[in-house]
């Protein structure tokens, strides 16, 4: 059965769009604060939407993972609000986005489910990436 694309509004958490995540070794991003309509649509497609009431304020969320960078190297995937390509490394946690997702079926080790590829990620409100402070550079390594 062909699964249809879905568009959701979300808040970015833990963006690893151009560098693999240390835990999974894949490029990934969590899309949080999903509306009840978005949760319903994703669950109808078979997605396992998670919920966490934590200090990251994720609420209902999904995680999109890829073996390849989520960037503009092949297609204009990461765009600003004007529709122009933007550097994915500028997207910090807390950025508000609209994301077009393509669902796919997966199975591994007796488990199966539905995952999502990011077709287009449009940044509606940019939250800057937190830079390490200069004080960290001056500290003596132990």
Rounded Cα distance, 1 and 44, in Å: 13
Task: State how far the alpha carbon of 12 is from the alpha carbons of 1, 3, 111, 123, 140, in Å.
Answer: 30, 24, 27, 10, 33
pLDDT per residue as tens digits for the range 24-83? 999 999 999 999 999 999 999 999 999 999 999 999 999 999 999 999 999 999 999 999
* Distance from C-alpha of 85 to C-alpha of 77, rounded to nearest angstrom: 7
Count of positions (residues) in the chain: 142
Structure tokens at 31: 């899309």
Which residues lie across from 30 on neighbouring strands? 13, 63
Name the token pair of 96: 């508000």
Contacts of 61 (CB under 8 A, 6+ apart): 10, 13, 30, 31, 32, 33, 34, 49, 50, 51, 52
Which CATH code for domain 6-131?
Answer: 2.40.50.140
> What tokens appear for 65 in the block?
């993972």
pTM above 0.75, yes or no: yes
47-60 pLDDT, tens digit each = 999 999 999 999 99
Q: Which DSSP state fits 85?
A: B
Q: Please check the confidence at residue 135 and state whether its pLDDT lies above 80.
A: no
* CB-based contact 25:32 (threshold 8 Å): no
């Amino acid at each position: 059965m062909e699964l249809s694309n879905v568009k959701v509004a979300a808040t970015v958490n833990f963006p690893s769009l151009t560098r693999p995540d240390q835990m999974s070794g894949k490029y990934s991003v969590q899309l949080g604060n999903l509306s009840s309509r978005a949760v319903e649509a994703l669950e109808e497609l078979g997605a396992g939407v998670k919920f966490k009431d934590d200090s990251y304020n994720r609420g209902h969320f999904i995680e999109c993972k890829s073996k390849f960078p989520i960037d503009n190297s092949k297609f204009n995937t990461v765009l600003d609000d004007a529709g122009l390509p933007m550097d994915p490394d500028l997207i910090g946690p807390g950025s508000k986005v609209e994301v077009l997702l393509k669902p796919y079926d997966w199975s591994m080790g007796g488990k199966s489910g539905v995952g999502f590829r990011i077709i287009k990620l449009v940044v509606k409100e940019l939250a800057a990436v937190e830079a390490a402070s200069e004080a960290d550079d001056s500290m003596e390594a132990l």
